[in-house]
Amino acid sequence: DAKTTQPPSMDCAEGRAANLPCNHSTISGNEYVYWYRQIHSQGPQYIIHGLKNNETNEMASLIITEDRKSSTLILPHATLRDTAVYYCIVMSSGTASKLTFGTGTRLQVTL
């Protein structure tokens, strides 16, 4: 699996948009970009994934650059409950795909 680079930590004021970047310059053509988050002492939670088009769901938006070498996860209106470690992972889609977690970005949402 390709490696990813994320900033170790970010702060965001409650109600503002949180933009979490991820670099994945060695991503291959059949690899997707996945985002998970882990709230303290819980199991990771799936957020969103995409291949090359921008994606949006009820939790977040995913913006992937045209060259696919980087992406940004956007939480449009961050709340205190969004405080967590966010992991960007690139992986081939399909069954039994092993996730390789990097160090992630610790997002702290403040009042």
Partner 1 sequence: GAVVSQHPSWVICKSGTSVKIECRSLDFQATTMFWYRQFPKQSLMLMATSNEGSKATYEQGVEKDKFLINHASLTLSTLTVTSAHPEDSSFYICSNDSPSDNEQFFGPGTRLTVL
Nearest approach, Cβ of residue 89 and partner 1 (Å)? 10
Among residues 44, 48, 5, which one has the least CA distance to residue 27? 5
* Residue 101 binding partner 1, by CB under 8 A: yes
Closest contact distance (angstroms) between CB of 29 and partner 1 is: 16
Q: Are 37 and 47 in contact (CB under 8 A)?
A: yes
Q: How far is the CB of 59 from partner 1 (least distance, A)?
A: 12
Q: Which residue from 43, 53, 58, 111 is in contact with partner 1, where contact means CB under 8 A?
A: 43
Q: How far is CA 57 from the centre of its chain?
A: 13
**For the chain, how are helix, strand and coil distributed in percent, rounded to 5?**
5, 50, 50
Quote the DSSP letter at residue 5: B
Q: How far apart are CA 7 and CA 104, in angstroms?
A: 7
Least gap, CB of 26 to partner 1 (angstroms): 19
> Which one of 26, 28, 79, 103 is in contact with partner 1 (CB under 8 A)?
103
Interacting residues toward partner 1 by CB under 8 A = 32, 34, 38, 41-46, 49, 87, 93-104
